Amino acid sequence: MKVILASDHAGIELRQELVALLKERGTEFQDLGPQTRESVDYPDFASRVAQQVVSEPGTLGVLVCGTGIGMSIVANKHRGIRAALCTSEFEARMTRAHNDANVLCLGQRVVGAGVARGILEAFLSTAFEGGRHEKRVQKIRDVEAQQR
Ligand code: RB5
C-alpha cells in the first residue's frame, strides 16, 4: 500500500503528524508538500494528490486543509476519486468498507492530532467490502461517465 499526501498551509502540522504515523507503521508514502508555511491554494494540492491516486491504482490519498472541506470538494471533481471528509474513526471505516473511498480528507482546525491519527489508521486498515456495495460504487462511476 502506498499513500500520497498533501495539505495547504492550514494543514501542515496535522500532515506532519500523519507522516509520523505512516513512518511508525512502515507504510510507503509520498509527501507532496507544501514544505513552507507560505499561503498556498488548496485546489492545487488536492489536484496533485488526486491525479497521482488516479494514475497509480491501489494508492490512497490523504489531504489536509483547515476544514478538509475545500480539499474534498476539489478531489471529488477528479474522475476516479472518491474522497471522504472524516471526523471520526467510524466514518473512516465505513467509507472504506462501503464507498471504497480512495482519498481521506481531514481538517486541522476540526480534529486534533490524536483523533486524526485514529481516523487515518482506520482508513488504512479497512478494506472495501465489495458485494452489494460494488454495484453502488459502479453507479458512482456511471454518474462520472455521464459528465462530459
Ligand atoms: C485556508 O484558510 C482555508 O480556507 C483552507 O485551508 C480550507 O479550510 C478550505 O476549505
Cα 82 to averaged position of ligand 1 atoms, centre (Å): 20
Q: What is the pLDDT of residues 51-99, one digit of tens each?
A: 999 999 999 999 999 999 999 999 999 999 999 999 999 999 999 999 9
Question: What Å distances lie between residue 101 and 10, 98, 121, CA to CA?
Answer: 23, 8, 14
Domain boundaries, the chain: 2-147
Whole-number pLDDT of residue 148: 77
Q: Indicate the pLDDT class of residue 103, thresholds 50, 70 and 90.
A: very high
Average pLDDT, the chain: 97
Q: Which fold has domain 2-147?
A: Ribose 5-phosphate Isomerase B; Chain: A, (3.40.1400)
DSSP labels, the chain: -EEEEEE-GGGHHHHHHHHHHHHHTT-EEEE----S-S---HHHHHHHHHHHHHHSTT-EEEEEESSSHHHHHHHTTSTT--EEE-SSHHHHHHHHHHH---EEEEETTTS-HHHHHHHHHHHHH-----THHHHHHHHHHHHHHH--
* Residues facing residue 6 across a β-bridge: 63
15 and 46 in contact (C-beta within 8 Å)? Answer: no
Nearest alpha carbon, ligand 1 atom 7: 66
Whole-number pLDDT of residue 73: 98
Q: Which residues are annotated as a binding site for D-ribulose 5-phosphate?
A: 8-9, 66-70, 99, 109, 132, 136
Nearest alpha carbon, ligand 1 atom 3: 66
98 a catalytic residue: yes
Ligand 1 atom closest to Cα of 73?
Answer: 10
Q: What is the pLDDT of residues 10-60, one digit of tens each?
A: 999 999 999 999 999 999 999 999 999 999 999 999 999 999 999 999 999
Burial class (CB in 10 A: 0-12, 13-18, 19+), 94: middle
Question: What Å distances lie between residue 94 and 98, 99, 112, 145, CA to CA?
Answer: 6, 7, 20, 25
